[in-house]
Amino acid sequence: MLLFDTNILIPWLAGASLPDALVKRVRNEGAYVSPISIWEIWIKVRIGKLEMQTDSLVREVEIAQLSWLPVLPDHAEAVRDLPLLHRDPFDRLLLAQAKAEGLTVVTTDRIFGEYLPNALVV
């Protein structure tokens, strides 16, 4: 199963064109969204780095038929074992979630591959 990084979730919800292989894989395997991504998006909207055309990302995720991956205490603790390749707290928790749950994280960020060899960088 896949876990969307925030930088994949945003264009997915916006209906942007993503690689056909990714779309097919999501249809076959399904994809998770972490509440961490919703938190990150709303922070970026609030500080003016991003504009959103919705007032409910939760509803948008559900309409897109993506699954929720709850943040569990074990996920937060798994951050401890990640190398300090970069300091983005949102990315670090998403990576810890993917690692703890054996998920393939989908991202545009190449550094994810240094954390998880099965990361899908598109």
> Which pLDDT score is estimated for 48?
97
List pLDDT tens digits, range 10-48.
Answer: 999 999 999 999 999 999 999 999 999 999 999 999 999
> Which pLDDT score is estimated for 86?
85
Note the helical H segments in 1-88: 6-14, 20-29, 35-46, 57-63, 73-78
Half-sphere exposure of 50 (CA within 13 A, CB side): 17
User: What's CA 3's distance to the chain center, in Å?
Assistant: 5
> Which pLDDT score is estimated for 39?
96
d(CA 69, CA 97) in angstroms, rounded, equals 8
What total number of domains does the chain contain? 1
List pLDDT tens digits, range 58-91.
Answer: 999 999 999 999 999 999 999 999 999 988 999 9
Assign residue 84 the CATH number of its domain: 3.40.50.1010
Domain range enclosing 113: 2-121
